[in-house]
Chain A
Amino acid sequence: MTAAHKVKITYCADCGYEPQTLDLAKALMLEFGARLSCIELIPWDGGTFDVSVDGELIHSMTRDGGFGDTRAIKDAVGARLSA
């Protein structure tokens, strides 16, 4: 049975991070297609831009700075899917 893999992107809606959120979501959709069971976008506040896959935080603006490198995030998601 194929495992369901879920990505969550939590972004600060008060900071106008929608474009970066949508760009990343689109990149993940195009890269992984139906291999992801869900990409959840969570509007939040406080300067948040967190990306997790199956509950594991793979990028955090607070922890890592910035929006993260899309290639690196895709690699981290891909590694999770292959595990």
Chain B
Amino acid sequence: MTIDRARFDKGLRYDAYKEQMTRNRDRLEANEQRVELSNEDLAAFRALPRPVKVVVLAEDWCGDVIANLPVLARLAKDSGKLDVRIFLRDQNDDIMQRYLNKGQFKSIPVFVFFDEGFRELGHWIERPASVTEVRAKRRKEIFAAHPEFGSPDAPVDQLAEDVRVRLQAELVKIQHDTMKFANAEVVRELREIATRVAA
């Protein structure tokens, strides 16, 4: 499978993607509002010699899509240099198979960057490793501080419902507390890929 102009044009623009969402649109749009882009980052994208095309694989039930697609969308909107088309993962398995996470998992979102000749500049999957690492550390700390949560590796269905609800609240707090860091890491990694486009 290769992406060419005809296939690219079949993708949804961001607003059309939002229109067809069946859930989580409020969360997606709230995240979109929360994205903070530095002048330096915006300048780097605005300085791209030509618009970069970005193919996205997404689904509206995925938490990483809800968190990270708005970052790409804001970069596209505020820089005017990213031409984004979104494809639903489960209807575009030929694209998905080419960008499996670790060659195995259908992780999303996937962002694939192309130059104007549809030569791939690079791709990005799911979330930055640094974000996974920070959240795993926080998760470990929470379990250490709350013996009632048991082992981090134990099935959560063994917890009493009230304990499980408190654990879930702590885990949601991790997402919230690390959101700013996560967004900055996403921007940093996307900037590194997009700026590979030849001058």
Does the CB pair A16–B59 fall under 8 Å?
Answer: yes
- Chain A positions within 8 Å of B168 at CB level: 44
Does the CB pair A14–B61 fall under 8 Å?
Answer: yes
Mark the stretch among A20-28, A47-55, A71-79 that contacts chain B. A47-55
Q: Which A positions have Cβ atoms within 8 angstroms of B?
A: 8, 10, 13-16, 18, 40, 42, 44-45, 48, 50, 52, 55, 57, 60
- Chain A positions within 8 Å of B63 at CB level: 14, 45
Q: How many A-B residue pairs have CB under 8 A?
A: 33
- Chain A positions within 8 Å of B64 at CB level: 14
- Chain B positions within 8 Å of A8 at CB level: 157
With A14-B61, A14-B64, A42-B164 already in contact, the answer to whether A60 and B155 are too (CB < 8 A) is: yes
Does the CB pair A16–B62 fall under 8 Å?
Answer: yes
B158 within 8 A of A: yes
- Chain B positions within 8 Å of A13 at CB level: 61
- Chain A positions within 8 Å of B171 at CB level: 45
In Å, the complex CA distance between A65 and B83 comes to 38
- Chain B positions within 8 Å of A44 at CB level: 156, 168
The 5 closest A-B pairs by CB, nearest first: A14-B63, A16-B61, A8-B157, A50-B155, A10-B157
Does the CB pair B62–A57 fall under 8 Å?
Answer: no
- Chain A positions within 8 Å of B62 at CB level: 14-16
In Å, the complex CA distance between A60 and B59 comes to 24
In Å, the complex CA distance between A44 and B172 comes to 11
Does the CB pair B59–A57 fall under 8 Å?
Answer: no
Does the CB pair A50–B157 fall under 8 Å?
Answer: yes
- Chain A positions within 8 Å of B157 at CB level: 8, 10, 40, 42, 50, 52
In Å, the complex CA distance between A1 and B161 comes to 27
- Chain B positions within 8 Å of A15 at CB level: 61-62
- Chain B positions within 8 Å of A40 at CB level: 157
In the complex, 10 of the A-B residue pairs with CB atoms within 8 angstroms, ordered by the A residue number, are: A10-B157, A14-B61, A15-B61, A44-B168, A45-B63, A48-B156, A50-B155, A50-B156, A57-B155, A60-B155
In Å, the complex CA distance between A39 and B63 comes to 26
- Chain A positions within 8 Å of B158 at CB level: 52, 55
Find the A residue at minimum CB distance from B63: A14
In Å, the complex CA distance between A10 and B154 comes to 12
In Å, the complex CA distance between A60 and B153 comes to 11
